[in-house]
Structure 1
Amino acid sequence: MEESAPFLACIELIGVNPYVLVPDPLLQALFAAAGKSTGPIPVQLTIDGHAFPQTLVKYAGQWRLYLNGPMRQAAGKQVGDTATFTLRHDPQPRELTMHPRLSQVLAENEAAAAVFHSLPASRRLEIVRYISFLKSEESVERNVHRAIRFLLGQERFIGRDKP
């Protein structure tokens, strides 16, 4: 799918989450390009010329394009502002690589690795994502060890009591 024609949208807020609604003709083009009209749809978007990968999701009956802080900051936009957007379906796989420290510690702990690999893919992704987005090496180290204790049933982690 080619990049969409630019459209203007006001940045709105639902709960604490800023978003814009996508015009219906563009939604239909995105559905056709993605080959589906349910579930999250990966897109490339521009906000006033600043490009970002994002996912279009349906929430409370409406397809919403959520805009995180770095996106809005780069475009100099806040909730209530109007911006110019373009969208296109992004067919590229969105893979997250495991933090090297988590990989190393799992390799050193067979019991934790066995539990990790037996988890549903969504749960493994939740753990990998949590650790991958930590900023300091200290927090990575601390949370890798928390994850291992969680996998061994010794500690809560990612809002869960058990793996």
Structure 2
Amino acid sequence: MPSAARLMGAVCLSALAFVLSGMVIPLMPESTDFGYFVPLNMVLGLGIGWVVMGSRAGRGTTAAINNGFAGAFVLMLWGIGVQAAYEMFRRAMRNRYDDPFEALVAVFQIAAEYGLMVATAPIAIALVVGAVICGLLTEFAFNRWP
């Protein structure tokens, strides 16, 4: 059921995805073609904010901060996973894998590489601060507009 908390969680997490995507782009190799990188991450933020954060609002300030951390963690998990799956698919179309199992294993290898690339202090700080803000704003929306 739509609510202000779900909308606020979706918008906040989408904005956080936009900011984090902008911070990740300079960390990747210069030859990287980003294509729909930023819009895809923002759509992931919309969906995760709506489903994960919006549905868990209304439990207090501490739970709101934890809700923000959960939303940010799921956003990073899905973001890295979707981008790794896309990269595997791109490589598979160039016949880089001999069988489907090798391609499936490559998704996890690529995700681990991406995870190590984005594991920097500025991204961690932005993720933590953004998670707290998103959680508190979602809680505020739940309390203000029930």
TM bin, normalised by shorter chain, reads under 0.3
TM-score (norm 2): 0.28
Of structures 1 and 2, the larger Rg is shown by: 1
Q: Which has the higher strand share?
A: 1
Structure of greater relative contact order (alpha carbons < 8 Å, 6+ residues apart): 2
